[in-house]
Amino acid sequence: MNWTKQQLRTHIQVIQGEKPPTIVLQNASYLNHVLRKWMNANIWIYKDRIVYVGSKMPQNDEGCEIVDCEGKSIVPGYIEPHVHPFQLYNPQTFASYAAKRGTTTFVSDNLMLLPLPNEKALTFMKEINELPFSFYWWCRYDSQTKLQNEDEVFSDKMFNQFLDHPYVLQGGELTNWPQVLKGDDKTLHWMQETKRRGKKVEGHLPGASERTLTKMAVLGVDCDHEAMTGEEAVMRMSLGYTTSLRYSSIRPDLPKILEEMLALGVTNFDRVMMTTDGSTPTFYEDGVTDEVIRIALEKGVPTEDAYAMVSYNIARHYGFDHLYGMVAPGRIANLNILDNPMTPTPTAVLSKGLWVNDELEANVDWDRYDIKPYQFDWSITEEDLSQTARAGIDMVNSVITKPYRSEVDFGVPELSTEHDECFFSLIDHKGNWRISTMLKGFANNVSGFVSSYSNSGDLILIGKSKKDMVAAFNRMKELGGGIVLVEDGEVVCEIPLTLNGGCSTQPMEVVMEQQASLVKALKERGYPFVDPIYSLLFFSSTHLPYIRITPTGIVDVLKNEVLFPVVMR
């Protein structure tokens, strides 16, 4: 946030009584994180900034909105430190929904920006901050899949431009850490460059041993959000890591982790934060950050720590506590007004000094950044679904897959519903290449299912009937991207995703309903796991074991080897 000299002088005039504040929150009990105390004060706001917190009221209050906060509790606006803002929702729709529940600052994954020309991505990161929310980003070191043009996307130019960008706070998340340990000096170089610029490195270290965590700390990793137990969280803390505790649709571990941390005697939460890690839409029905605070309070975490873990601790970790995470002069006016400290869903929210309500405008001209509906000037036929790779993919859960050898005859137009094996293809969204194999464990009765929502943005096709798979593709093509389920030639369910095939422009509430209908339809047809949306996202993600379908081919993750390459169409 760069206020001009003139703006800074105006802020001083407000403090001196020469100009009125825009809003005063009078008689508030607020959480002072430096003293770790609830205190009473009048909070003066001028436009987007807190200019005074203390006992005085302004002498000049002409046109100033004075809000009586007697009996209320005020805390800093919540910060989500680890957002994947493209899980069917988009950054704006997620922020608009979260802000109503008090989360107004977002540290986000740049994965959805990688397909854009660099200049567009950089402008997007700057201009999205013209919305009444605060957006920051991370810079990935790899695509967490195997792109055909990986080196082109992850060029020196891209790294320099992203890491120099004022809204990029960290490198990572470091999903390719096994390669770094095995000698990938390119990634290590960019980790060093991240640190040289005074920015953080976010890990991605599920199941890591004490030795691995030690090595990664020595190589520069500052934070990790992959602890799944209290013990793992404490191990990270004892090794000096900032530790994010996760409550997400695929890993809702927070309640258990907190119980175990408290049982292990943890009393200092200064280097702990909490995240919902890009959950799918319906997971947010009960709240966003407000929900994780509720869980922390229920588990007996002191109120001061529960709120610090979603504001002050995060702001200090990222080095922006001069702007966020405190109710103090100079900070951006992101404030949540609560009925009391035990009810973290605010009754009123200020973001950049504006009241968050239905009237608050937040529109993005996506086209300007080349984020638009997919356009297909090509088609597929049933021949495109014929087998090209012999390594079948067997689902262990929503996101983990292992190789298997299928005994089923692939050369037929339709498979029996007596078993749980389906035709499975990944097709380039530009139509140049494809790869087809078998998928086991997805469902017995899914006939034609197509998704442009995937890690790489390419098209996933799953089903028992090649005819219905082609029909689902055709409908997805008409929509300009999306997820479509077809049965006997009829569309059963669809989610239009018109922002580069991955995000909807509809409000969260609409996308939640669409997701719920789709999940219900898939479960009725035999999908046995928790989260089919994450299955779609991660089929091509090489940060998960053991076998992945990627734009270069079917990959053995542990060996980092392409088993079967894609074929040209």
Ligand X SMILES: Nc1ncnc2[nH]cnc12
Binding residues (CB under 6 A) for ligand X: these are: 84, 111, 144, 175, 277-278, 537
Beta bridge partners of 542: none
Instruction: Report in angstroms how near the CB of residue 235 gets to ligand X at its nearest.
Output: 21
Q: How far is the CB of 249 from ligand X (least distance, A)?
A: 9
Residue 144 or 401 having the CB closest to ligand X:
144
**How would you classify the pairing of strands 392-395 and 433-440?**
parallel
> Quick one: residue 278, left, alpha or beta (phi over 0 = left, psi -120 to 50 = alpha)?
left
* 393 token code pair: 């993919």
Q: Take residue 53 and report the two structure tokens written for it.
A: 């917190």
Residue 275 Cβ vs ligand X, minimum distance, rounded to whole Å:
10
Nearer to ligand X, 111 or 522 (CB): 111
Distance, CA of 538 to CA of 290 (rounded, Å): 27
Name which of 203 and 441 has its Cβ closer to ligand X.
203
Residue whose CB is less far from ligand X, 145 or 436: 145
Is residue 95 helix, strand or coil? helix
d(CA 46, CA 514): 41
Peptide bond into 173 cis (omega under 30): yes
Letter for the amino acid at 251? R
Q: Give whichever of 111 and 443 is closer to ligand X, judged by the CB atom.
A: 111
Report DSSP state, residue 285: G
* Smallest separation, CB 200 to ligand X (Å): 17
| Cβ closest to ligand X, residue 92 vs residue 280 | 280
Taking the least distance from each CB to ligand X, the nearer of 76 and 501 is 501
At its nearest, how many Å lie between ligand X and the CB of residue 488? 33
Q: 225 or 429: whose CB is closer to ligand X?
A: 225
State the maximum Cα–Cα separation within the chain, in Å, rounded to a whole number: 83
CB of 503 to ligand X, least distance (A): 13
What value, to the nearest 5°, has the Cα angle with vertex 88 and ends 555 and 363? 135
Nearest alpha carbon to residue 291 among 245, 228, 242: 245
* Least spacing, CB of residue 281 vs ligand X, in Å: 13
Closest CB to ligand X among 132 and 172? 172
CB of 173 to ligand X, least distance (A): 6
> Nearest CA to 453 among 400, 520, 532?
532
CA dihedral 127, 129, 135, 140 (to 10 degrees): 20
450 neighbors 483 (Cβ within 8 angstroms) = yes
From the CB of 174, what's the least distance to ligand X, in Å?
10
Contact 533, 493 (CB under 8 A): no
* CB burial readout 173-187, b (16+ within 10 A) else e: bbbbbebbeeebebb
* Shorter beta-carbon distance to ligand X: residue 87 or 334: 87
Q: How far is the CB of 277 from ligand X (least distance, A)?
A: 5
> How many CA atoms does the CB half-sphere of 73 hold within 13 Å?
17
